[in-house]
Chain A
Amino acid sequence: MGNLTESNVITGVPGSERFVQDFEKGVLQSTLKISVSQLNFYYGPRQVLFDVSLNIADRKITALIGPSGCGKSTFLRTLNRLHETIHGTRMEGEVLLDGQNILELDVVRVRRRVGMVFQKSNPFPKSIFENVAYGLKINKMGGRGLIQEIVEKSLHRAALWEEVKDHIHKSAYSLSGGQQQRLCIARALAVDPEVLLLDEPCSALDPIATAKIEDLLMDLASTCTIVIVTHNMQQAARVADHTGFFLLGKLIEFNKTDIIFKNPARKETEDYITGRFG
């Protein structure tokens, strides 16, 4: 799989003819990891996502920005079918993972391939080791020695190993907030996901911990496709290759990050980025 080239970046406005052309062209490219088309989403009778179509490039960082309550997190949850754990939700449209409809795949397998890190760190009431090993154990991946090895490797990848290597069997709650969040990243990485979804992973962290996690994301992007929801526009500008702007449940604009920030096509995007609302 090569890099996303200029020719298959979607440049049109969603719904426009240009967009549809670009989109269809994009779907045919093998560089796409996830392809979402005409996604509508409902909590009970309330519709929260309207006709969202979006392509996510393989081994790139895609950021989703937008004001609170615009559907970014909901959108993220449809990518690993986590919305199904909430009663009364309904999804229309198609999400393709490597060209396969995720609704037709086994849900456990989808969630193993598409990992997730949440806004608030949520380690299990177990030891640091057991937290990282949990995904391996429930997915029956590897014996005892292999699990040891993968746990260590995952903690290394999440840049946490040096800080915890001497007390790996202590409670996960003995760690600081930033360490807990990196532990959650290590836990998600342990099952070796192809895609990592992050839902505002830094919103509860201080700038130093945030910087660590951003560095980490840029390292991870060489092996893993990353989708990050963020309220922090500087963060999107710093880490993302592509950025999508959501407003009131609609994807307003999606493009390369520097185009979104320097030369947005839509007035709403410009207003949001320059801080005129939101």
Chain B
Amino acid sequence: MGLPAIEIPETALRPVSGRGLQRRLFDYLGWGLCTLAFLLLGSAMTWILVVVFLRGINALNFSVITHVTEGTGGGLLNAIEGTLVLALGGIMLAAPPGLAAGIYLAEFDRGRLAPTIRFLADVLVGVPSIVIGYFGYVTMVVALGWKFSVAAGSVALAIISLPYICRTTEMALRQVPRALREAAYALGASDGRVTLGICVPAALPGILTGVLLALAISVGETAPLLYTAGWSSYLWTGHFTNEPVGYLTYVIWAFITEPFESAHALAYAAAFFVTLFVLVISILTRMVLDENAGWRRLRPWEKRKP
């Protein structure tokens, strides 16, 4: 458009030899190592999923989900019900304080309490889950006299989920831009309104991810339940204390070492269900975070991919 065309010397387009070769070698090496790492991880995961799903599907039949466990045979209805009750109970107990603590850490703390809470949350993540089971046994099952029960199991799961919910909530809120808060403050909004009306909705995808992650962890836990929920071959009658309850991970843990084919089949089926639950929750989480799923329109400050 009126400007003289710029001549590009041909030498500028040719790759530089020597250093160019070295760079390409490093490039190949990098890609090679990445592919190797991917194959290692990918094959391990595929192997687990294939084994669990093939054996699980072979062991599945309609009676597995319609009958309760009888000895080392029967179905898994009681365990599926128990797992759902315990996991939901754990989330219902952990979510309110976890969300509240996360909101407090991100929005309100100005003093020295925050580092302490963060440190405690990190310690809680690191406590072996069997120690939490043992703690639950000593305090709730024995001292409080709840016996093996939904209440004790849910509380144990809640203790495990709490730090995850707390820290992911804090992280999600910290990503909300300051400009949004200022806009609300400038209209005369109070701290509470800014937090609950503006920041929490904007951070909702991240917060939900934390809660779903905690749910997945709850579904997969075994050790804390062994000492708190016990085991039962019957359906839950709705009592929160003094009634042990079945759950899927117990079936895997206990039945795989039994010398009966029927017990093995139940263990495989239970492993199938646990994996399926966790997989479904993970996919749900991905969908929540997926930019195509519509949630992303709420977080426009994260650049859309073209």
Name which of A40-48, A114-122, A155-163 contacts chain B: A114-122
Chain B: residues with Cβ within 8 Å of the partner, total of: 23
The reply on A260 being an interface residue by CB < 8 A is: no
- What chain A residues lie within 8 Å of B201 (beta carbons)? 125
B298: min CB distance to chain A, Å = 5
- Contact of B202 with A138 in the complex, beta carbons under 8 Å: no
- Contact of B190 with A108 in the complex, beta carbons under 8 Å: yes
- Contact of A125 with B188 in the complex, beta carbons under 8 Å: no
> Which A-chain residue is minimally distant from B197 (CB atoms)?
A138
Q: Quick one: which of B138-181 are within 8 Å of A by CB? A: 177, 179-181
- Contact of A135 with B188 in the complex, beta carbons under 8 Å: yes
- What chain B residues lie within 8 Å of A139 (beta carbons)? 187-188
- Contact of B110 with A118 in the complex, beta carbons under 8 Å: no
The reply on A109 being an interface residue by CB < 8 A is: yes
B34: min CB distance to chain A, Å = 36
A215: min CB distance to chain B, Å = 23
A94: min CB distance to chain B, Å = 21
- What chain A residues lie within 8 Å of B118 (beta carbons)? none
Q: Quick one: which of A111-155 are within 8 Å of B by CB? A: 111-112, 115-116, 118, 120, 122-125, 134-135, 138-139
B208: min CB distance to chain A, Å = 15
The reply on B54 being an interface residue by CB < 8 A is: no
- Contact of A188 with B187 in the complex, beta carbons under 8 Å: yes
The reply on A242 being an interface residue by CB < 8 A is: no
Interface centre among A120, A122, A134, A171 (most CB of B within 10 A): A122
Interface centre among A138, A171, A184, A188 (most CB of B within 10 A): A138
- What chain A residues lie within 8 Å of B186 (beta carbons)? 80, 82, 111, 115-116, 118, 188
The reply on B286 being an interface residue by CB < 8 A is: no
- Contact of B183 with A173 in the complex, beta carbons under 8 Å: no
- Contact of B182 with A85 in the complex, beta carbons under 8 Å: yes
- What chain A residues lie within 8 Å of B187 (beta carbons)? 111-112, 115, 134-135, 138-139, 187-188, 191
Cα of A87 to Cα of B191 in the assembled complex, Å: 13
> Which A-chain residue is minimally distant from B298 (CB atoms)?
A125
- A124 in contact with B198 given A118-B179, A118-B183 (CB within 8 Å): yes
- Contact of B185 with A85 in the complex, beta carbons under 8 Å: yes
Q: Quick one: which of B191-221 are within 8 Å of A by CB? A: 193, 197-198, 201-202
**For chain B, what secondary structure do more than half of its interface residues adopt (helix, strand, loop), or is it mixed?**
helix
The reply on B297 being an interface residue by CB < 8 A is: yes
A88: min CB distance to chain B, Å = 9
- What chain B residues lie within 8 Å of A124 (beta carbons)? 180, 183-184, 198, 202
The reply on B189 being an interface residue by CB < 8 A is: yes
The reply on B300 being an interface residue by CB < 8 A is: yes
B216: min CB distance to chain A, Å = 27
Contact with B along A79-123 (1 / 0, CB 8 A): 010100101000000000000000000011101100110101011
Q: Quick one: which of A32-69 are within 8 Å of B by CB? A: none
Cα of A80 to Cα of B181 in the assembled complex, Å: 15
Q: Quick one: which of A152-200 are within 8 Å of B by CB? A: 171, 173, 184, 187-188, 191
- A125 in contact with B202 given A87-B110, A112-B187, A112-B188 (CB within 8 Å): yes
Cα of A173 to Cα of B302 in the assembled complex, Å: 12
Cα of A87 to Cα of B110 in the assembled complex, Å: 8
- What chain A residues lie within 8 Å of B183 (beta carbons)? 118, 122-124, 184, 187
Which residues from chain B sit less than 8 Å from chain A, CB to CB? Answer: 110, 177, 179-190, 193, 197-198, 201-202, 297-300
21 A-B pairs with CB atoms under 8 Å apart are: A82-B182, A85-B185, A108-B188, A109-B188, A111-B188, A116-B186, A122-B179, A122-B182, A124-B183, A125-B180, A125-B201, A125-B300, A134-B184, A134-B187, A138-B190, A138-B193, A139-B187, A139-B188, A184-B183, A191-B187, A191-B188
Which residues from chain A sit less than 8 Å from chain B, CB to CB? Answer: 80, 82, 85, 87, 107-109, 111-112, 115-116, 118, 120, 122-125, 134-135, 138-139, 171, 173, 184, 187-188, 191
Q: Name the 8 nearest CB pairs between A and B, nearest first.
A: A122-B179, A135-B187, A116-B186, A111-B188, A112-B188, A108-B188, A173-B300, A125-B298
